[in-house]
């Protein structure tokens, strides 16, 4: 370490504050990192203040020591002493006089009677940080970095906060932290590298107070503001703020950049990585705040700073808080009464309680109390309830949990949240609150409901395009990718390797390009499922002849919905011998006649054909499509169950259908159900199989159960794939209960979506207000899914694939419709006329749904064999 050898710092050298949390100061290896980081900042010309927490677990141990019977204190103290001596030994410190002094003072406190309980507790607990900082100062000095130890209580003075009760005043104090040039220059005169304590301050009487659990972050922020530091770095055990607590949601993504308000909201609503009070001093003094991992200092981490100008509106995080108490106040008579709220809130104030969320109805007001803002104990709540009972009917509901979605401009995202709201709809939500600053949406539920909820919500938010994981400027890798060996990393899509060839065929655009090896690979994966007896390709997804040939060669059958589709299969020598199904809906009589002429198994899904055209079907075998009463899928328009959907025979007409079939001499050889598209939950199909099987048992003649398609393909980065192995296992299990039925699937999208891309050329660019429009020659006539289903297609600039994505674009087409938007808020490299854009995952329902709208020609297509 040769920092002392570098030139002395100027008196006005910038300050950098580095804060290290409990795990970051608990071992000698971490202290080597601290030493290196402090020396590096000093070498860059900064004056350095290191702020430390107590060794991990020590604050808890000191708290326990305060609470235990005097007779047990000696043992508890011995363990704490032992822990510090062990670290000192690992550090190979020759001089531990400072640490010994604090150990002695701790011992004296513990032995002494406690004259004033709260203050005594604060002073005892302060020793955690006093000890760790003393050890650290000795270690850094012994390793070549002269370090001045300062007592944080000299610099941090608690301010008077009105209505704070004594407990909060002593254990959860707040500090006045305006920039203080006098402090900065006084310290500058004393040295270059300093170390001090987190968590502690002094009050007006010069007594020790604490800043609340986790408060060392806030100490660092106070110091940062007082010294007007060039930044505050929070070093912890995780590489930054993530979109959710990574210990609960391993797929949570690193938030690379946040503004103060969003970081504040994430911290306040439960993310313990930053103490909720640490943002405001930094914001006021405009000090940037970094969050980094001490064990992996090279990882990027999170930068909290003023907001960058262009960002996609997105949910940034989900957080949760346990231990919430709800107080529900019911009154019919007094609601209209002027001053009712003033009266009840006066009682909260009297009991020193700060209200968090508020919900109101005509005769009810419900508020929540957050344990991190209130030192809640049952006595306080009971006393409050007793007082409230004099003016209204009170119900205390606890324990509850608050689940919060955080993101700037929450209101503009509400339309994307239907799937998320549906998840809450399953359980009882006590209170929903949207913050007036438009930054959060909070749901209060029973605490027991929290288990497993966050990972599900995180996934749903990504799937809904509400958590914009595609925006690489904001969202970094997932925690799993950073720490779990990158297990979740997806395969690189085929079109990366085919870039040169794609740029070549992009001479004429718009153009679809299909990659047959991908389709074959998908077909083989489905054929390998041992529980599935037959796979039919729903060719409405893409009837390109080359695709039909390839699938026929892979042993896949065809599911057609019109005479045109039947003819397309018949036209191909390679495909016409494959098994085929005809599954139309509200088709004219002639369509059924056509299918029967071709010898294709057809599916009926209403009484009408049997009632009105019985002669057509007499003596034939048919399949029956039923409506199981519910729909599923990625968008309302693709859910195909329930009375609101036109598909399938409703179950209340099932018996009538059987009677008619018997009378008309038809055999029902199979039952069919298809509930919708884009389903990623493998549990869905086994459920349908079970339901169809029990219906089939009532018929007798059924041989096979067709579970439809709907196999989803994830479209947003970070979304999980449909787990085929799990599907196979679950299907095999239900099949064991009904071995007499063959099991069929009829996927469309799953086989072809990823195999196709749409190439388009940039036509024009335009700036409008804050928005950058990027026009291309493919619009909703070429690909209607974004306009029709709000579908999300990944878009890249193929001409500049390796350039950094810097600009936020609205990617639009040439059609005269405002809805002609292929992708909103897409981060791409700066693009110019003539660049080739690639719209990914366009193999399904792209070309097959294209139109001549605006009399634009249809897109061309090419195939890569």
Among 54, 278, 400, 693, binds ligand ASP (CB under 6 A): 54
Is 241 a residue that touches ligand ADP (CB under 6 A)? yes
Is 237 a residue that touches ligand ADP (CB under 6 A)? yes
Among 66, 152, 173, 215, binds ligand ASP (CB under 6 A): 215
Is residue 279 within 8 A of residue 271, CB to CB? The reply is: no
Q: Between 266 and 839, name the residue whose CB sits nearer to ligand ADP.
A: 266
Alpha-carbon torsion, ordered 377, 381, 386, 387, to 10 deg? 120
Strand, coil or helix: what is 758? strand
> What is the separation, in whole angstroms, between the first and last Cα of the chain?
61
Q: Between 221 and 464, name the residue whose CB sits nearer to ligand ASP.
A: 221
Is 24 a residue that touches ligand ADP (CB under 6 A)? yes
Residues in the chain, overall count: 865
Residue 237 interaction partner, one of ligand ASP, ligand ADP, Mg ion, none, beta carbon < 5-8 Å per kind: ligand ADP
Residues with Cβ within 8 Å of residue 640, at least 6 apart in sequence = 631, 633, 647, 648, 674, 675, 676, 677
Is 622 a residue that touches ligand ADP (CB under 6 A)? no
Among 199, 582, 685, 792, binds ligand ASP (CB under 6 A): 199
DSSP tag of 160: P
Classify residue 91 by burial, with Cβ atoms within 10 Å: 0-12, 13-18, 19+: buried
Pick from 7, 617, 581, 17: nearest CA to 282: 17
DSSP tag of 794: -
Is 174 a residue that touches ligand ASP (CB under 6 A)? no
Query: How far apart are the C-alpha atoms of 94 and 502, rounded to whole Å?
Result: 68
Among 238, 461, 587, 828, binds ligand ADP (CB under 6 A): 238
Least distance from C-beta 551 to ligand ASP, angstroms? 60
Least distance from C-beta 296 to ligand ADP, angstroms? 13
Least distance from C-beta 271 to ligand ASP, angstroms? 14
Residue 128 interaction partner, one of Mg ion, ligand ASP, ligand ADP, none, beta carbon < 5-8 Å per kind: ligand ASP
296-325: which residues touch ligand ADP (CB under 6 A)?
317
Stretch that binds ligand ADP, among 154-162, 235-243, 709-717, 748-756 (CB under 6 A): 235-243
CA distances from 242 to 406, 440, 806 (A): 12, 16, 22
Q: Between 58 and 822, name the residue whose CB sits nearer to ligand ASP.
A: 58
Least distance from C-beta 174 to ligand ASP, angstroms? 15
- Selecting among 66, 282, 392, 816, the annotated active-site residue is 816
Among 16, 17, 20, 21, binds ligand ASP (CB under 6 A): 21
Residues with Cβ within 8 Å of residue 252, at least 6 apart in sequence = 242, 243, 244, 245, 246, 458, 478, 479
Is 236 a residue that touches ligand ADP (CB under 6 A)? yes
Least distance from C-beta 268 to ligand ADP, angstroms? 12
Among 214, 686, 708, 829, binds Mg ion (CB under 5 A): 214
Query: How far apart are the C-alpha atoms of 678 and 652, rounded to whole Å?
Result: 27
Among 15, 17, 22, 674, binds ligand ASP (CB under 6 A): 22
H helices present in 192-312, as ranges: 216-226, 260-268, 279-285
* Bond into 399 cis (ω within 30): yes
Q: Between 261 and 627, name the residue whose CB sits nearer to ligand ADP.
A: 261
Query: How far apart are the C-alpha atoms of 124 and 130, rounded to whole Å?
Result: 10
Residue 271 interaction partner, one of ligand ADP, Mg ion, ligand ASP, none, beta carbon < 5-8 Å per kind: ligand ADP
Beta-ladder partners of 395 = 328
Is residue 724 within 8 A of residue 523, CB to CB? The reply is: no
211-230: which residues touch ligand ADP (CB under 6 A)?
214
Pick from 715, 735, 712: nearest CA to 724: 712
Is 250 a residue that touches ligand ADP (CB under 6 A)? no
Residue 790 interaction partner, one of ligand ADP, Mg ion, ligand ASP, none, beta carbon < 5-8 Å per kind: none
252-271: which residues touch ligand ADP (CB under 6 A)?
266, 271
Q: If residue 823 lies in a helix (H) or strand (E), which one and from where to where?
A: strand 821-828
Query: How far apart are the C-alpha atoms of 18 and 232, rounded to whole Å?
Result: 6
Is 213 a residue that touches ligand ASP (CB under 6 A)? yes
Query: How far apart are the C-alpha atoms of 716 and 718, rounded to whole Å?
Result: 6
Stretch that binds ligand ADP, among 189-197, 241-249, 729-737, 833-841 (CB under 6 A): 241-249
21-40: which residues touch Mg ion (CB under 5 A)?
21
DSSP for 509-570 reads: SSEEEEEHHHHHHHHHHHHT-TT--EEEEEGGG---HHHHHHHHHTT-EEEESSHHHHHHHH
Is 128 a residue that touches Mg ion (CB under 5 A)? no
Count the residues of the shown chain that bind ligand ADP, applying the rule CB under 6 A: 20
Q: What SS3 string covers 114-154? A: CCCHHHHHHHHHHHHHHHHHHHHHHHHHHCCCCCEECCHHH
Count the residues of the shown chain that bind Mg ion, applying the rule CB under 5 A: 2
Is 129 a residue that touches ligand ADP (CB under 6 A)? no
Beta-ladder partners of 197 = 52
Is 18 a residue that touches ligand ADP (CB under 6 A)? no
Residue 247 interaction partner, one of ligand ASP, Mg ion, ligand ADP, none, beta carbon < 5-8 Å per kind: ligand ADP
Among 23, 121, 125, 218, binds ligand ADP (CB under 6 A): 23
Query: How far apart are the C-alpha atoms of 850 and 760, rounded to whole Å?
Result: 14
704 as an active site residue: the answer is no
Least distance from C-beta 457 to Mg ion, angstroms? 24
97-136: which residues touch ligand ASP (CB under 6 A)?
128
Is 671 a residue that touches ligand ADP (CB under 6 A)? no
Query: How far apart are the C-alpha atoms of 444 and 446, rounded to whole Å?
Result: 7
Query: How far apart are the C-alpha atoms of 795 and 784, rounded to whole Å?
Result: 15
Is 59 a residue that touches ligand ASP (CB under 6 A)? yes
Is 85 a residue that touches ligand ASP (CB under 6 A)? no
Q: Which residues bind Mg ion (CB under 5 A)?
A: 21, 214
Q: Which residues bind ligand ASP (CB under 6 A)?
A: 21-22, 53-54, 59, 128, 198-199, 213-216
Residues with a known catalytic role? 816
């Amino acid at each position: 370490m040769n920092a002392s050898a570098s030139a002395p710092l100027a008196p006005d050298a910038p300050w950098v504050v580095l804060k290290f949390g409990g795990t970051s100061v608990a071992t000698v290896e971490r202290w080597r990192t601290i030493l290196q980081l402090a020396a590096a900042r000093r070498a860059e010309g900064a004056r350095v203040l290191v702020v430390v927490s107590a060794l991990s677990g020590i604050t808890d141990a000191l708290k326990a020591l305060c609470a235990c019977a005097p007779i047990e204190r000696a043992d508890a103290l011995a363990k704490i002493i032992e822990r510090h001596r062990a670290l000192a030994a690992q550090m190979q410190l020759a001089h531990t006089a400072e640490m010994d002094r604090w150990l002695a003072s701790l011992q004296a406190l513990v032995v002494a009677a406690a004259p004033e309980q709260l203050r005594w507790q604060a002073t005892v607990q302060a020793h955690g940080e006093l000890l760790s900082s003393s050890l650290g100062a000795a270690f850094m000095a012994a390793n070549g970095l002269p370090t001045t130890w300062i007592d944080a209580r000299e610099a941090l003075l608690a301010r008077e906060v009105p209505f704070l009760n004594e407990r909060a005043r002593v254990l959860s104090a707040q500090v006045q932290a305006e920039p203080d040039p006098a402090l900065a220059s006084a310290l500058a005169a004393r040295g270059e590298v300093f170390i001090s304590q987190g968590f502690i301050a002094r009050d007006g009487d010069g007594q020790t107070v604490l800043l609340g659990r986790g408060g060392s972050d806030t100490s660092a922020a106070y110091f940062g503001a007082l010294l007007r530091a060039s930044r505050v770095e929070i070093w912890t055990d995780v590489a930054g703020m993530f979109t959710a607590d990574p210990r609960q949601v391993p797929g949570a993504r690193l938030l690379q950049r946040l503004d103060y308000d969003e970081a504040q909201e994430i911290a306040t609503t439960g993310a313990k990585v930053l103490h909720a009070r640490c943002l405001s001093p930094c914001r006021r003094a405009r000090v940037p705040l970094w969050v980094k991992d001490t064990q992996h200092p090279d990882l990027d981490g999170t930068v909290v700073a003023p907001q960058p100008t262009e960002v996609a509106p997105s949910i940034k995080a989900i957080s949760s808080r346990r231990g919430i108490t709800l107080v529900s106040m019911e009154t019919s008579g007094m609601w209209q009464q002027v001053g009712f709220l003033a009266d009840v809130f006066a009682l909260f104030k009297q009991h020193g309680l700060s209200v968090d969320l508020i919900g109101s109805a005509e005769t009810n007001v419900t508020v929540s109390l957050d344990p991190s803002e209130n030192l809640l104990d049952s006595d306080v709540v009971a006393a409050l309830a007793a007082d409230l009972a004099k003016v209204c009917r009170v119900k205390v509901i606890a324990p509850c949990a608050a689940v919060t979605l955080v993101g700037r401009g929450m209101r503009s995202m509400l339309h994307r949240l239907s799937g998320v709201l549906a998840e809450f709809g399953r359980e009882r939500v006590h209170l929903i609150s949207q913050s007036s600053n438009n930054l959060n949406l909070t749901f209060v539920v029973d605490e027991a409901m929290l288990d497993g909820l966050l990972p599900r919500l995180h996934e749903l938010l990504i799937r809904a395009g509400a958590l914009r994981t595609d925006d690489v400027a904001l969202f970094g890798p997932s925690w799993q990718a950073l720490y779990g060996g990158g297990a979740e990393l997806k395969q690189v899509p085929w079109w990366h390797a085919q870039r040169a060839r794609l740029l070549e065929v992009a001479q004429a655009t718009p153009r679809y390009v299909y990659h047959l090896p991908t389709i074959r690979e998908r077909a083989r994966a489905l054929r390998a499922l041992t529980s599935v007896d037959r796979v039919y390709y729903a060719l409405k997804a893409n009837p390109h002849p080359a695709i039909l040939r390839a699938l026929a060669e892979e042993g896949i059958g065809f599911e057609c919905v019109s005479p045109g589709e039947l003819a397309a299969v018949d036209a191909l020598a390679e495909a016409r011998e494959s098994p085929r199904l005809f599954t139309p809906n509200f088709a004219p009589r002639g369509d059924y006649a056509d299918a029967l002429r071709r010898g294709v198994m057809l599916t009926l899904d209403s009484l009408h054909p049997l009632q009105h055209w019985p002669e057509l079907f007499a003596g034939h075998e048919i399949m029956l499509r039923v409506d199981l009463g519910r729909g599923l899928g990625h968008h309302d328009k693709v859910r195909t169950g329930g009375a609101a959907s036109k598909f399938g025979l409703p179950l209340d007409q099932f018996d009538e259908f059987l009677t008619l079939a018997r009378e008309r001499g038809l055999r029902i050889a199979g039952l069919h159900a298809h509930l919708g598209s884009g389903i990623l939950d493998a549990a869905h199909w086994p459920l349908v199989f079970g339901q169809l099987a029990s219906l089939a048992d009532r018929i007798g003649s059924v041989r096979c159960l067709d579970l439809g398609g709907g196999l989803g393909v994830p479209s947003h980065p970070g979304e999980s794939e449909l787990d085929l192995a799990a599907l196979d296992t679950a299907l095999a299990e239900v099949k064991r209960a009904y071995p007499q039925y063959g099991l069929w699937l009829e996927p469309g999208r799953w086989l072809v979506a990823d195999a196709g891309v749409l190439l388009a050329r940039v036509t024009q660019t335009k700036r409008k207000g804050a928005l950058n429009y990027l026009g291309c020659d493919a619009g909703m006539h070429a690909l209607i899914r974004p306009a029709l289903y709000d579908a999300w297609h990944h878009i890249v600039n193929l001409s500049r694939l390796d350039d950094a994505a810097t600009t936020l674009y609205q990617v639009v087409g040439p059609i005269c419709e405002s809805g002609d938007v292929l992708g909103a808020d897409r981060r791409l490299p700066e693009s110019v006329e003539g660049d080739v854009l690639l719209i990914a995952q366009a193999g399904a329902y792209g070309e097959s749904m294209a139109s001549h709208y605006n009399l634009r020609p249809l897109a061309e297509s090419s195939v890569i064999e």
